[in-house]
Amino acid sequence: MSKALKILLNAIPIALMIGLIPVVRNDYLLSLIYVIIISIALAIKYEPKDMLVLVFGFFVMIAAEYFFVSTGVEIFVRRSLLGFMPFWLPILWAYAFIGIKRGVLIVSS
């Protein structure tokens, strides 16, 4: 399998999650759907340290987004997490960290 195809396959869950943002208006339902998508993706393919990267990405992105919002660089209309950002956003970013990790490993192999 080519490197481009491997990267594309790893990006499918992220693209699906992004595509659901305008469709699912309830942030908590969207978060649940994200958790289901991530669970299925990890059940299909789990690599060493994926859970560590997922948890790291989740907490790092909460802190990073909080910083960006507090400086006025970003403003969210949907503010279901701590009153400043959508509840689903760090979940999406957490899986994106896995996608980035896998992409780097694919390119460097």
pTM assigned to the model? 0.91
- Which pLDDT belongs to residue 74? 83
- Which pLDDT belongs to residue 2? 94
| 30-63 pLDDT per residue, tens | 999 999 999 999 999 999 999 999 999 999 999 9
- Which pLDDT belongs to residue 89? 96
* Long-range residue pairs from 74-77, CB within 8 A, at least 24 positions apart, any chain: none
CA distances from 30 to 5, 17, 49, 104, 107 (A): 27, 9, 25, 28, 31
| CA dist., res. 98 & res. 56, Å (int) | 10
- In eight-state DSSP terms, residue 80 is -
| 10-25 pLDDT per residue, tens | 999 999 999 999 999 9
- Which pLDDT belongs to residue 48? 92
Decide if 10 contacts 103 (C-beta within 8 A).
yes
Lowest-confidence segment of 39-48, 74-83, 96-105 by average pLDDT:
74-83
- Tally of residues, the chain: 109
Tokens 């699912």 belong to: 24
| CA dist., res. 64 & res. 38, Å (int) | 21
- State percent of the chain over pLDDT 70: 100
Decide if 102 contacts 12 (C-beta within 8 A).
no
